[in-house]
Structures are given as C-alpha cells and as structure tokens.
Structure 1
Amino acid sequence: MQIPLDYYRILGVPLQAEDDLINQAFEDRMVQMPRSEYSQYAIASRQNLIKLAHSVLQNEESRQQYDDQIFPSNAEAIINGDGDMDMSIDDAMTLSETSIPNPTIDVDGDLLLGALMMLQELGEYELVLNIAQSFLEGKEPLEQISSDTNELQSWWQDLILTVISAYLDLAKEKWHQKEYENASLYLLSADAILEQQNVFNHIRQEIDSDLQKVRPYEIIELLTKPRSQLVDRQKAIALLQKMLDSRGGIEGQKQDQSGLTTDDFLRFLQEVRTHLSPLEQEELFKQESQRPSLAATYLTVNALIVRGFVERKPELIVQAENILVHLNQYQDVYLEQSICSLLLGNITKAENLLNQSYETEKVDYIKNLSQGSPDLVPGLILYTENWFKNEIFPQFKNLDRESLSVQEYFNNPRVEKALEQIAPPEMPPMDEEDPLSLLKDYPPETDDITEEETTSTPSLPTPNLSKIPEPSEEDNEDSELLDLSSFLEAEIDTEESEEETSPSMESMEDDNDEEDIPSSTSFKSSLIGLLIVVVLLGIFSTLLYRVFNQTDSGDLQLSLGESLIELPEELPNQESTTEEPLSPQTALELVNGWLEAKALATGPDYNVGALEGVLADPLLSIWRGNISILRNDAAYRRYEHDVTIEGVNVNPQNNMEANITARVRERSQYFNNGVLDNQRSYEENLLVRYDLIRVNNRWLIRNTQIIN
C-alpha cells in the first residue's frame, strides 16, 4: 500500500541533513515510545519503519538512489547546494517542497501499522482516518495483514487505538481553536467506535470526562451562533439538561466533570438564560421543577409572566399566579403576585398583596411613586415596567425591542377579550397531602380567543412541589427581591416547622378568607363574576389614564449576574424605528428553518414544539392536525431538502405582510411502525409560495401554496 510519507519525515530531518544529524535523529526516534496501550507488534512495526528509513539515508549510495527516485532531476543541487544553482538553503527547501507533489513509500502488512502510527505522530490526523476508514468499513481485506488469528486481533486493536488517538488529537486542536462543537463531535466519534468495538474502556472514561469539560463551552457556542438554527438550539438545551441531570439539578450538590464549581455553574446558567427565548426557558425549567426545584419553579414563573405580557396571553399569567401562591410558603413573592394580579386587572387584590410584602424597600419605592394617588396602582405600574426592563427582560433572548408599556398591554384586543373570559376561581381549602391541588384549574394557553371559549378547560403540567421541605420561620424583613440566588439560599437554609405557621402564610390565608366571603353566597354565579371583572376593567382604565399622564418616573438599579464564559461580541442592536428588511438571505434561513422544524415535528419524536416560532395560524393548526394523524397511525416521515429562493416581496400597503417564492426539492420517506412505505414516499421538485406575517418583530409563515 502506498502511504504519503518519505524517509526524511520519518526521521524528522531536513533534506540537506548530514550523517551525524541523521544518526542522532534515528536514536531519538527509537527511544520515543507511543501510547502504553499499543501491543509489541505495533511497537515493532514502528521501529522497523524507522530502521528502514535510517538504513537508506545513512548510506550515501542508497540515499542518492532514493533522492533520484522521488525528487526532480535537479535534486543534487537542491540537497547539496552545489552545481550552477545559486540559492540559500531556505530557497532550496522551498523549491524541494513545491517540486515534490506527494512523495510516498510502499509498505507491506508488517509496516502498515507503523506507518499509520508515524503519520499520527506527525500530526496527519485526517490522513490517518482516511487510510484506516477503508479497513473499518471492510473495504480492505485483512488477510494481507496476517493469517494468524491472534496476531490479526492484536493488529486490529492497535488500528482502533491509532484511529482513536487521531480523533482525540483533532478534538484537542479544535478546543484550542475554540471550535467547541467540532471538538465534541470528534470526541463522540471516538467514543462511538470504542463502544462498538468494546475495547479500551478506560479511554472511554477519559473521553466522557473531556466531553463534560467541553459541554458548557459548546452550549454557549451553539446558542450564540450568528445564524443559529433550531437544531442547534435544541442540541444546546439537550446538553444543558444533561449537565443538570449530572449535577442533580440547579440546587444539586453533585459534581460533574465539567470543572465548574457550584457558583461557576450558577453564573454559567445565568449566562445561558440570556440566550434562551421565554418559551425555551419555560419548557426547560418546567421540566426541571419536577425534581422538585424551587429555583426552577421560580424561573418557570418568570418565563410564564414574560410570555403572557409579551405575547398578550393573560392565561399564562394566571398559570404563574397560581404557582406563586405555593411558592409564597418558601419565600416572600408577594411583589410578583401583585404584578400578576395587576396584569390580570385585579386591582384590589394587587394592592392587598403588595401591602403583605416584607420587601419594605421596594414597597416604599412604589409608595413614593404613588404619592398624590388614593391607591398604589400608579407606582405598581411603574415598578412593573422597571421590573421588566431591568430585571426580567435582560434574562431572555431578543426582548430588547419589546414594549414595556402596561398601557399598551391592556389596550390589546386579545388581552381585553381574554380578561373578560378569565373569571376569578373559587379557592378551596388547600389539601395538605396534595399542595398542588389548587393548580389544577388555571386556564390553558390558547392561540386565539373566541366568544365561544370558556374557562372550563384542562390544565397544563405544573411544577411538582410535593417533595419540598416545610417553610422556615426565618424573619423575612431584610430579604431582597426574589431571584435565583435567593431561592437557592432559602432552600438550603430551610428548617422544618410542623406546629407553627409562618407570618406570610397567616396573612395570605386571612386575605384569602376575606376574598372568599362573597363567593360563598350569590356571587357563585359565573355571569355575575364576569360582570365584576368588566367593572374592574373600567375602573382600571380610568386609573391608567391618570397614571400615564403623570410626569414622575424612576428607575430601579437592579444588578445582573456576571458571565462565566467570555463570548464573542455581538453586533449592537440598531435603535431604529424601521424594521429589518426581508432579504433573500433572511428568506432562505426562514424557509430552511421551517423545513427543519417540519422534519422534527413529523419525525419519530413528533416534536410539535419545533413549529412554535416558525408558523402562525392557520398553517400552525393545520400541521398540528397532520402530526396528530401521523402519531395515531404510528407513522412518521424523514425529509431531505434543497432550497433556492426565487423571489421576496413585502406588501407595500402593509409591511407586516410578505411572501417568498422558492424552488424546493423535497425527498420524503414514510415509515409505518418503523417500516419504510415506498408508496407513500416521494421526491418532488416544487415551486412554493410562502405567505408571511410579522409577529413581535419575527416573520412567521401562515400559509403555503404550491405554484407548480
């Protein structure tokens, strides 16, 4: 077999090397030892190759024959520096390197392994993998290596070890080049081969350790790609979930092999959050809260409130409000409860909750903003907007351009209609054996609110708090506004109290008792409850007018956590009122994002969530139905796509609407119960029109039409 090597490279000497240098290089090479896992057969193969190179180059006659064989006709002038050529040694080396295309040596079975090991030592990792791949895939017969079964088995393990070493060295290169995803891919490739061959388990442990070290950097890299795709983000979130599992959750005391201390990990998690959307955080922390986890539960609440406010979905704020009722057993979250009540139009409840808070500094701030007003609503509205601006929005991706105005929120027609349909639920006594029983009746998230919808709808999964310790009796007067770190401190320092009830719970129960009085008699009627909500909205509209015509405002100085990992600087956001144009490149990314989401949603995992942020109704509802049919039939599809954009048009009368014309080559395989169905599979070349609508500064596809 021809291997791209030459004897000079094997010994590591220049072309013009003298005999003394050649002999010294030979001795150095012979004493160098490869990895200890190599067999004696591999070590002997490497040494025999070195001896062969030395035997040729140390003899003047054989060296000249070798040079004439692989070098051009003027080799003697290049190597010896004599003749008619007037050049320096550096020039001679440059000429020799450009004049020799690819010198090779012919090696038999005994020397092949040594040649691969030598290429590995010389840093030719990709070349090692290319040559070894033919053996791994069975394209090269092993009989040419040896007819002895035991010797062949030893040779095979040595070959696997050489391939693994090449992958590991490539991973190190990518690590130093800060290409963390590629480093991880090389490590995973090495691990897959070792798992398949069931050899060198101790090296697998080393690989696993390296994978965990590179994991936090890979997560940040995937989330901060300039044009990160849906698949990249899902991969990053999956890796983060693995880290959380290894550490036993956010508050977990287990140590993974990432090298991050508990404090480092929390700072890292705070950094990751700034690159996740509200929906991504909600899904991640809702699952994490099932451990149970107070911190994850609170982060879920933040995501629900943000989504409810930004997406104009009060039903999500109702979910957050119900969860906060139970979080108040462990930490003072009356301010957050008050904000939820405010955004649901329940002014009286918002003010009552605010007065129960032990966050005296924040409450005093709100009272100062409300001077001259008969209630605390003006200050609470301004505080809420500051809370979103300084504390909440910076912890989510792409919220810098979202409106902070509470007035705009209430002026939204969808919010008005949703609030009319959200009747205050009657709060039954809490079941001590099932503290989550009160969370079963909050309204679910809906895409559109219609006149026919009611509040008697099934609930979504809620965080599991049933295993959390009893609340502590610590004095909360000096506590700060609840955040991730304060939740961790509260959970770590909590002591069980079985006979006494905390002040916060007593005040909450008293407040609930007062609110339940009217519901025990004639106010049980849902119609009357609805009228109460309408009246409250009218009162609140009057208050809003008064608040937003005041000139006083103030900013809270709330600090954010420091980053653990330095990230590449992102382009500054353009403070412009004009929307980003829909360019052909943006259109290509949009269509590719939809096709990737379709492949995930119709695949074996039925990832319907992949459609969020890509489609809008009616197309979103149509595809949800299609996926439901596939699931019921125990079927799924696999797709391959190739897209060419042919036209991009924005509606001149309405810049919130646009369309894209694209040529799409689509190949789809249909599987039923895991078996390929060729009759339902297809490959088509289509011209497709995509109708778009801009929602929250993001283009979504709301309809498609096949032109031909």
Structure 2
Amino acid sequence: MRIPLDYYRILGLPLAASDEQLRQAYSDRIVQLPRREYSQAAISSRKQLIEEAYVVLSNPKERSNYDRLYLAHAYDPDGTSTARVALEDRAKSGDGDLDTQSLSIEIAQEELVGALLILQELGEYELVLKLGHGYLANSNAAAVANTGNKLASEDLLDSPELPDIILTVALACLELGREQWQQGHYENAAVSLETGQEMLARQGLFPNVQAEMQADLYKLRPYRILELLALPLEKTAERRQGLELLQNILSDRGGIDGAGNDESGLNIDDFLRFIQQLRNHLTVAEQHKLFEAESKRPSAVATYLAVYALVARGFTQRQPALIRQAKQMLIHLGKRQDVHLEQSLCALLLGQTEEATRVLELSQEYEVLVFIREKSQDSPDLLPGLCLYAEQWLQNEVFPHFRDLVKQQALLKDYFANQQVQAYLEGLPADAETTNERVVMNRQFSQPQVNSPRHPNQTTGSQQFHQNRISDPLPTTSNTRRPEYSNFRARPHTSPISSPGSATPATPMTPLSTAERTTRATNQNLNGAAKSSPPRPTQKRKRRKSSQSANQERVANRQQRQRTFANTLEGKTRLVWTVFASLLGILVFWVVVSTTFGWIKNLLAPAPALPSKQLSVQINEPPIPIPDRNSKLQSPEGSLTETTAEEVIQTWLSTKAAALGPNHEVNGLENILTGSALSQWQLVTQQEKADNRYRKYNHSVKVEYVNKTQTNPNRVAVEATVKEATQFYENGQKKKSSDESLRVRYDLIRQDGVWRIQSMLVVN
C-alpha cells in the first residue's frame, strides 16, 4: 500500500536544509521514541523509514534527483497534486531511479505501523484514522472469511502488528479529541474520545490509555453540557442528553454543593460558577424541576435557586401557588441566611401587604430600604416603593436567568388583574391569620443573623465555600488553554466556566449583594414609574365577606394605639436629646478650661530644655529590634530566594494541615495568608468544623521558579510542585483518601518584613 509522505517531512526539514541540519534532524528523530506502549517491531519500522529518508537526502546525487522530482510535483501545472511528493518506489529494482509517476510511499504490510506513527507525529490524525480504519476493516473481513465461525477479533490479534495499529488509531482519536476540545467543538471531541476508548475496550488492550481517555471525558462533561443545553429548544434529544449528563455529574458530586468527586477538576466554587452559567441555557420549567429536586438533598444553594424558579414561573404563568411554595422554602432557608427581602417580595405577590412591609423592615439590605423609602415619601406606608422595586427585581434579577423569560415584562398591574390570581388570593388567609408562618419567622428573627449570603465574612449553612483544593477546571492536555476562574458568592447572577480557548473566566449562587441591587435599581429611570406605580394588591382583598364594621373598629383602635405610642416615644426622644446636649456642653467647657490652664502654666513656668545629646546607644544592643535572620518568613529588603520561598510554602502547608486537622487551629492562618486567600480558607475551616469533618495531610514541595517583579520587589510569584496526600474524616470516621501532584502558582506579598501568600492557583 502507499502512504502520502516525503523524505523532508519524515525528517522534519525544509527543502533548503543544509547537510549539518540534515544530520542533526536525523539524530533527533532517531533518539525520539514513541509512547512506551508500542512494541519493538513498531519502533523498528519507524526507525527504518527515517533511515531510508536520511540515506537518500545525505547522498548529493540522489538528493539532487529527488529535489528535481519534489519541485516538479510541488509546482504541478494541473494543480491537482500537493507539495507532498513520494518516496521512491521501492518495489522496483534498486537502481536508484525515482518513480516519477507516484506521490506516495510504497510500503509492505509490516511497515504500516511505522508510517502511521510518523503521520501521527506530524499531526495528520484524520489521515491516520482513514488509513488505520480501512486496514482494520479489511483485516477483519479477511479474518471472518478465513475463520468461519470463530470470532474475527481473536484471529485479528494473531497478527503481531495489529495491536500497534489499533493503538495508533486510538491515540489519533485521543489527540483529535483534544484538538477539537481546544477549538470549542465539545461534542465532536467526545465522539472522538469515545471512539478510541471503545476500540481499545472491545479488544481489551492498553487499559492505561483507556483510563487516560476516560479522564478526558470526565473533564469534558461540563463543556458538553453547556454546548448541548445551549442548542435551540427544538433539539429535544440533544438537550435531553445534556440534562442526563448534568444529572450524572450531580449524582457523582452529591449535589450542587456536594463534596463528591466527579473527576471534572471543578472544585466547589468552580462548579457553582458552572451552574450559574448553565442557568442561562435552561427554561424556567427545567430549572424548577432540577433545583426543586436538588433542594431535597438538602442543599441551601439549590433551595435558593428553586425559589427564583418558583417565583418566576408563578408570576409569568399566573400561578401564585408556586410563589407561596417559594415563600415556605424561604422560611426554612432564613434560619441560616438573611432572605427577608425575598420573603417580603413573595408576601407582596401573595397580596399579604402588612406582612410584606413588616418583614421588609427586618432586612439588612439598607440601601434597598433607602430606595424603597424614597419612592414611598408621599405614601403612609412603603407599598409604592416596594411595588416599584418588585418590578425592577423581577425584570433585572430574575427573568434574565431563564432563557424563555429574557424578554418577559414584569408588570404587577397585569399580574393582580388576572382573574386566576385574584381567585387564589381571595382564598388565602388574611395577614393576621398567618400565625404558623409568623411563629417560625419570629423565632428565626430573634437570633443573630449569621451565615448571611450578603456578608462575606460569615459562612453559609451549605457547603458552597467548602473546597477540596484550589483547582483548574480545564483539561490537563498541554495544548489546551485554560480560563481563570475568580471566587464569587453563591448568587443568581454573573458568569462561570468558559471554553478552553477563552480568556474570559468563569461563580456560587446566593442573592445579589446590597450594592448590586441598589446600583441596578437606581440606575434605571424611575421617575415615570414612580408616578404611575402599580395598584396595591390589598385592593383586591376588598371582596372578602368579613364584617366591615369589625374591621373598621380594629383599624381605629390600631391607629389610636399608634398615636399614643408615637406621643410617648416623642417625649422620651426629647428627654434623651436634652441630656445629650447637657453632657456635650460640659465636655466642651472642660476642654476649654484645661487648654487655657495649660497655656498659662507654660507661659509662667516654661519647662527646661532637653539636653542636646540624650540618646543612649550601647554597643552590644541595637537601637531598634532587628528581625531574626534565621526566621522562616523574615526576609531582608532584597529579593526572595528559592530557599525562602520553599520555607513560606512549607509553612502554609503546615498551617493548612493544622487548620483543617482534628483541632481546626484557624488562628494560624493569619500568620501566613492575607487578602482573599485568608478569608477564603477561614471560611473553609469554619465550614469543616461546623460539619464535624477534618483532614490529615502529607506534603512535599519543590520550588520550580521564582518570578520577581522589577517594579515592585515586595510582590513575587512562585511556582512549585506540591505532592499532597489527603485522608478525609467525617464524624471521626475515615471516608476517603487522595494522592495528588499539583503545580501551584503562589502570589506572595511582603508585609512588615514578612512574606505572606495573597492568592494561589493550580496551573496543572
């Protein structure tokens, strides 16, 4: 058979290569060896082709004739030939003449694996697949014809070169899949990897190569999910496959914020960013089904996302029963997080206006409260501003995260005018009758609000900030560019994982921060909306058949009590201000008197002047403390050395082992970490301690290089190889163990003469 190759491509040389370059290229190609899985016969076949190319090109006469043939084919006037010219037809007599009619190598069957190896080294993966599959198909057909009832695969493997050919084709699938992955064609990459893996599994060959392909398939799953779910809604089969892959990942991880290992390389924060990005490709019905099921694991993150889906679906489909379900989920979620604002908005959409304003006052979203009060200045209550904010919240923070609601308009007027909504709200108990919910809420409000998703210095009840390690979510292939991922809170906004070729990063889901909410609301042109605010939902409740006179009497009594309380409060306030003004006057008088007295004393009896030389310096004691030069973290005002860098990293690893160990010694983190790294690992340690989990580590470190910044000697980047063996314990019982070798980049900063780690990132 013939293989499209030429001498220059075999040796990796240009046409004008010198004799010295020819010898060097030959030497390099002979020394380079393929993967260790290849047999000696395959290596010899490759070596033979390289030697034949060198023999021809090293002979001046033969090279001259070959170059003439090469150029003739390269500049073929018909334009049908390629620049790849043939080797000589070795099937002819050995007189040295070249076969001018051929554009390919004539090889024997046992030399096919060598030619395929060279083509694969040149990156001709599609050509390797074409030639290899064709040869295997022909061999299989011949085996079936010759063996009758015997299995073809058994007879196929009797040929010594066939395992090498199968390996070459499978490796071509592997490299082609990685190339397609880098180009962003994730499903095609998966097909290539699965094809190579199935070929090896069917023959029971090379389990280590199969494992390598399976590892890439695991890392590829998040990208495949994004690609499949981003397809049009009409592609039901493909999108269903994407949802199945998502369920498989969630099952492996133990939920959205679970600590299981799905082999994707995504840690907790990275996976939450992935979920955040994924939401933009899911409909409101798909998110409702997904997150409601995940919330039952239980999962605080899934519960919060389910609330958003329920509210969005309930509002747009005019099903207030779903909003009531969201309100119930918020009551349970509020035991650990400040979700009073969301509770107030749900109560508003259910027409429970008194409860909405009462719960709103308990929220720590002070900027939002200011906005709502500003829009309610001409009203006796906060309903106008709350209604206006509810529309802004739905329009800007809820709907954009559902692919079928992006263009949906949020109008409370239309919602409350719907007859189905009116009928349901009429059947709800009055605000004063929601006793069961109020008892739970009052019990929850009486406790200090920790674990708030809006306060990053506190931990949440879920495991959303727990990290097994700081890892990179991208494939470990050397040719794949990796996006960076920044830390974020678990809130329903902003971005997550991106394609391997993208420089845009990829975020944990919780509600928007106060500043974000206020910025979004105040940046809108609200003047017109404030003038025509939607009608209050309480007007829909006038159809209730309760006693009007009794209601009026209760309202009058309530107003009378409020006026009495206001008068009392006003009197007490006036008294407090009077006392405060008196104390302030006394303080000012004392300051004036003491200052005047001191000035007169200095004028009449000035203090004696200090002697000109009063400083006492001893030879054996320095005038100021000097840091111990043997200290691990102290460094002079010079550049950081590799030895000191290794000591800093060793100190960090020892501190991490103590912080995440059985005693959870979190205080030591402040001595080695700073900035985002410190707050991040403090959260991780607190979460591990709360969940009664700890770890035991064995570490070893090797500093690869120290990248010093010329403009700022107090900032240094250190890249090191860290071998980390970890044993995970929960409730005193060993759960699992891991052994990893990571290449980590540490960003160090010198503060007060001490090197601390500001951030860290796994680069491989």
Q: State the TM bucket, normalised to the shorter chain.
A: 0.5 to 0.7
Quick one: distance in 2 between partners of 1:397 and 1:233? 14
Deviation at 1:15, TM superposition (A): 5.5
Aligned ranges for residues 9-408 of structure 1 at < 5 Å?
9-14=9-14, 24-55=24-55, 75=69, 78=72, 97=82, 103-137=103-137, 140=140, 152=158, 154-224=160-230, 229-254=235-260, 256-354=262-360, 357=363, 362-363=368-369, 365-408=371-414
Quick one: distance in 2 between partners of 1:337 and 1:76? 78
Quick one: distance in 2 between partners of 1:491 and 1:291? 11
Quick one: distance in 2 between partners of 1:477 and 1:123? 57
What are the ranges of 5 or more consecutive residues in structure 1 without an aligned counterpart? Answer: 80-88, 436-469, 495-557, 570-708
**Are the counterparts in 2 of residues 359 and 480 from structure 1 also a CA contact under 8 Å?**
no
Residue 476 (1) aligns with residue 409 (2): no
**Are the counterparts in 1 of residues 337 and 450 from structure 2 also a CA contact under 8 Å?**
no
Q: Which moved more, 1:336-345 or 1:415-424?
A: 415-424
Deviations 1:586-615, CA, capped at 9 Å, x for gaps:
xxxxxxxxxxxxxxxxxxxxxxxxxxxxxx
Quote the residue 1:619 is aligned against: none
> Normalising by the residue count of structure 2, what TM-score does the alignment of the two structures yield?
0.50
Aligned ranges for residues 536-555 of structure 1 at < 5 Å?
none
Quote the residue 1:490 is aligned against: 461
Deviations 1:127-185, CA, capped at 9 Å, x for gaps:
111122134446555679x9997983653321221012111221232233333333333
Report the CA distance shift for 1:91/1:113 in structure 2 as closer, same or farther (over 3 A). closer
Deviation at 1:295, TM superposition (A): 1.0
What are the ranges of 5 or more consecutive residues in structure 2 without an aligned counterpart? Answer: 86-100, 148-153, 466-490, 505-764
Structure with max Cα Rg: 2
Quick one: distance in 1 between partners of 2:429 and 2:138? 69
Quote the residue 1:415 is aligned against: 421
Report the CA distance shift for 1:169/1:339 in structure 2 as closer, same or farther (over 3 A). same
Quick one: distance in 1 between partners of 2:109 and 2:165? 12
**Which of 475, 495, 498 is the matching residue for 1:565?**
498
Quick one: distance in 2 between partners of 1:153 and 1:428? 82
Quote the residue 1:613 is aligned against: none
Report the CA distance shift for 1:488/1:179 in structure 2 as closer, same or farther (over 3 A). farther
Report the CA distance shift for 1:345/1:138 in structure 2 as closer, same or farther (over 3 A). farther
Quick one: distance in 1 between partners of 2:306 and 2:69? 73
SS in 1 for 2:205: coil
Report the CA distance shift for 1:565/1:33 in structure 2 as closer, same or farther (over 3 A). same
Deviation at 1:303, TM superposition (A): 0.3
Quick one: distance in 2 between partners of 1:384 and 1:398? 20
**Are the counterparts in 2 of residues 295 and 487 from structure 1 also a CA contact under 8 Å?**
no
Aligned ranges for residues 482-521 of structure 1 at < 5 Å?
489-491=460-462
Deviation at 1:279, TM superposition (A): 1.7
Quote the residue 2:611 is aligned against: none
Report the CA distance shift for 1:420/1:75 in structure 2 as closer, same or farther (over 3 A). same
Quick one: distance in 2 between partners of 1:366 and 1:480? 21
SS in 1 for 2:324: helix
Quick one: distance in 2 between partners of 1:428 and 1:198? 67
Deviations 1:513-560, CA, capped at 9 Å, x for gaps:
xxxxxxxxxxxxxxxxxxxxxxxxxxxxxxxxxxxxxxxxxxxxx994
**Are the counterparts in 1 of residues 323 and 350 from structure 2 also a CA contact under 8 Å?**
yes
Which AA in structure 1 matches 2:122? L
Quick one: distance in 2 between partners of 1:559 and 1:266? 10
RMSD: 4.6
> Normalising by the residue count of structure 1, what TM-score does the alignment of the two structures yield?
0.54
Which AA in structure 2 matches 1:124? E
Aligned ranges for residues 525-544 of structure 1 at < 5 Å?
none
SS in 1 for 2:35: coil
Deviation at 1:416, TM superposition (A): 3.6
Which AA in structure 1 matches 2:118? M
Identical-pair percentage: 41
**Are the counterparts in 1 of residues 6 and 84 from structure 2 also a CA contact under 8 Å?**
no
Deviation at 1:378, TM superposition (A): 2.4
**Are the counterparts in 2 of residues 119 and 125 from structure 1 also a CA contact under 8 Å?**
yes
SS in 1 for 2:462: helix
Aligned ranges for residues 444-455 of structure 1 at < 5 Å?
none
Deviation at 1:384, TM superposition (A): 1.3
Report the CA distance shift for 1:64/1:344 in structure 2 as closer, same or farther (over 3 A). same
Deviation at 1:125, TM superposition (A): 0.8
The count of residues paired between Structure 1 and Structure 2 equals 450
Report the CA distance shift for 1:111/1:471 in structure 2 as closer, same or farther (over 3 A). farther
SS in 2 for 1:290: coil
SS in 2 for 1:392: helix
Deviation at 1:196, TM superposition (A): 2.5
Deviation at 1:568, TM superposition (A): 10
Deviations 1:41-86, CA, capped at 9 Å, x for gaps:
2112222333344455556777788x5xxx9xx739859xxxxxxx
SS in 2 for 1:34: coil
Report the CA distance shift for 1:205/1:291 in structure 2 as closer, same or farther (over 3 A). farther
Deviation at 1:419, TM superposition (A): 4.3
